[in-house]
Amino acid sequence: MLEKMIFGRYIPGNSFVHRLDPRAKLSFVFLFIIAVFLANTAMTYAILVGFTLLVIFSSRIRLYFLINGLKPILFLIIFTLLMHLFFTKGGVLLFEWKFIKVYEEGLRQGIFISIRFLVLVLMTSVLTLTTSPISITDGMEDLLGPFKRFKLPVHELALMMSISLRFIPTLMDETDKIVKAQLARGSDISTGSIKQRIRAVIPLLVPLFVSAFKRAEDLAVAMEVRGYRGGEGRTRYRQLKWHWRDTMVMALFVVLVAILLLLRG
Amino acid sequence: MDISLQQVGYLYGKDTPFEKRALQAVDVTIHSGSYTAIIGHTGSGKSTLLMHLNGLLKPSEGVVQIGDAKISAGTKTKGLKAIRRHVGIVFQFPEHQLFEETVEKDIMFGPMNFGVSEEESRRRAHELIGLLGLPADVALKSPFDLSGGQMRRVAIAGVLAFKPSVLVLDEPTAGLDPRGRKEIMELFHQLHIEENLTTILVTHSMEDAARYADNVVVMHDGSSVMSGTPEEVFGNEEKLSSYRLGLPRSVKFQRDIEKMIGRALPGLALTEEQLAKAIAHAATEVGDR
A178 and B109: CB-CB below 8 Å?
no
Among A3, A186, A211, whose Cβ lies nearest the Cβ of B16?
A3
d(CA A227, CA A229) in angstroms, rounded, equals: 6
User: Residues B225, B228, B234, B238: is their CA dihedral positive or negative?
Assistant: negative
Q: pLDDT, tens digit, for every residue of A177-220?
A: 999 999 999 887 777 778 888 888 889 999 999 999 999 999 99
| Chain B contact set for A171 (CB, 8 A) | none
Q: How many whole angstroms from its chain centre is CA B168?
A: 5
Q: Which positions ≥6 away from B116 have C-beta within 8 Å?
A: B124, B162
More confident residue, A225 or B75: A225
B287 Cβ under 8 Å from any chain A Cβ: no
> Best interface-test mutation with B: which of A1, A56, A185, A217 has the largest number of B CBs within 10 A?
A185
Neighbour tally for A67: CB within 10 Å: 13
Question: If you write DSSP's letter for every residue of B200-265 in order, what string do you get?
Answer: EEEES-HHHHHHH-SEEEEEETTEEEEEE-HHHHHT-HHHHHHTT----HHHHHHHHHHHHHTSPP
pLDDT at residue A1 is higher than 50:
no
pLDDT reported for residue A233: 77
B13 Cβ under 8 Å from any chain A Cβ: yes
Task: Indicate whether A22 belongs to any domain.
Answer: yes
Region B268-284 average pLDDT: 88
Mean pLDDT estimate for chain B: 91
d(CA A202, CA A195) in angstroms, rounded, equals: 12
Q: Which positions ≥6 away from A5 have C-beta within 8 Å?
A: A69, A72, A172
Q: Which positions ≥6 away from B80 have C-beta within 8 Å?
A: B54, B55, B71
Confidence tier at B4 by pLDDT (50, 70, 90):
very high
Among B18, B81, B88, whose Cβ lies nearest the Cβ of A3?
B18
For residues B160-177, one letter each, b for 16 or more C-beta atoms within 10 angstroms of the residue's C-beta and e for the rest, the string is bbbbbbbbbbbbbbeebe
Q: How many whole angstroms from its chain centre is CA A53?
A: 16
pLDDT at residue A62 is higher than 90:
no
pLDDT at residue B280 is higher than 50:
yes
Please report the number of interchain residue pairs, chain A to chain B, with beta-carbon separation below 8 angstroms. Answer: 73
A186 and B113: CB-CB below 8 Å?
yes
pLDDT reported for residue A6: 64
| Chain A contact set for B107 (CB, 8 A) | none
State percent of chain A over pLDDT 90: 30
Q: pLDDT, tens digit, for every residue of B164-194?
A: 999 999 999 988 899 999 999 999 999 999 9
Confidence tier at B20 by pLDDT (50, 70, 90):
confident
B160 Cβ under 8 Å from any chain A Cβ: no
Among B88, B98, B113, whose Cβ lies nearest the Cβ of A207?
B98
Region B13-39 average pLDDT: 89
pLDDT reported for residue A13: 86
Running DSSP on this structure, what letter comes out for residue B153?
H
Interhelix angle A154-184/A133-144, nearest 10 degrees: 150
d(CA B209, CA B197) in angstroms, rounded, equals: 17
pLDDT at residue B124 is higher than 70:
yes
User: Residues B149, B155, B158, B164: is their CA dihedral positive or negative?
Assistant: negative
A186 and B84: CB-CB below 8 Å?
yes
d(CA B111, CA A186) in angstroms, rounded, equals: 8
d(CA A125, CA A131) in angstroms, rounded, equals: 10
Mean pLDDT estimate for chain A: 85
Task: Indicate whether A167 belongs to any domain.
Answer: no
- Could you give phi then psi for residue B88, rounded to 5 degrees? -95, 135
d(CA B22, CA B45) in angstroms, rounded, equals: 6
What number of residues does chain B have?
289
More confident residue, A89 or B283: B283
d(CA A238, CA A139) in angstroms, rounded, equals: 11
Residue of A nearest to B13 (CA): A3
Confidence tier at B247 by pLDDT (50, 70, 90):
very high
Confidence tier at A8 by pLDDT (50, 70, 90):
low
Task: Indicate whether A83 belongs to any domain.
Answer: yes
Among B16, B54, B81, whose Cβ lies nearest the Cβ of A65?
B16
d(CA B150, CA A20) in angstroms, rounded, equals: 52
The answer to whether residues A85 and A110 touch, using CB atoms and an 8 Å cutoff, is: yes
| Chain A contact set for B13 (CB, 8 A) | 3-4
Running DSSP on this structure, what letter comes out for residue B53?
T
B42 Cβ under 8 Å from any chain A Cβ: no
Task: Indicate whether A144 belongs to any domain.
Answer: no
pLDDT at residue A5 is higher than 80:
no
A190 and B77: CB-CB below 8 Å?
yes
Residue of A nearest to B54 (CA): A184
Residue of A nearest to B167 (CA): A184
pLDDT at residue B212 is higher than 90:
yes
Chain A residue set in contact with B, beta carbons under 8 Å: 3-4, 11, 61-62, 64-65, 68, 174, 177-178, 180-188, 190-191, 202-207, 210-211
Tell me the ipTM for this assembly.
Answer: 0.88
Least confident of A63-77, A244-258, B45-59, B200-214: A63-77
Question: If you write DSSP's letter for every residue of B14-35 in order, what string do you get?
Answer: TTSTT-EEEEEEEEEEE-TT-E
pLDDT reported for residue A241: 86
Task: Indicate whether A40 belongs to any domain.
Answer: yes
d(CA B190, CA B149) in angstroms, rounded, equals: 20
Region B141-158 average pLDDT: 93
Confidence tier at B288 by pLDDT (50, 70, 90):
low
Among A4, A184, A185, whose Cβ lies nearest the Cβ of B16?
A4
Structural domain range at position A31 = 2-131+243-263
Q: Which residues pair with B220 in a beta bridge?
A: B223
Which strands make up the sheet holding B35-40, listed edge to edge? B87-90, B166-170, B198-203, B35-40, B215-220, B223-228
More confident residue, A125 or A169: A125
pLDDT at residue A256 is higher than 80:
yes
Among B77, B78, B113, whose Cβ lies nearest the Cβ of A185?
B113
B91 and A180: CB-CB below 8 Å?
yes
Task: Indicate whether A109 belongs to any domain.
Answer: yes
Among B15, B88, B97, whose Cβ lies nearest the Cβ of A207?
B97
d(CA A58, CA A55) in angstroms, rounded, equals: 5
Q: pLDDT, tens digit, for every residue of A100-136?
A: 777 888 888 888 889 998 899 889 888 988 988 888 8
Number of domains in chain A: 1
pLDDT at residue A10 is higher than 90:
no
State percent of chain B over pLDDT 90: 71
Region A62-77 average pLDDT: 80
pLDDT reported for residue A81: 87
| Chain A contact set for B159 (CB, 8 A) | 184-185
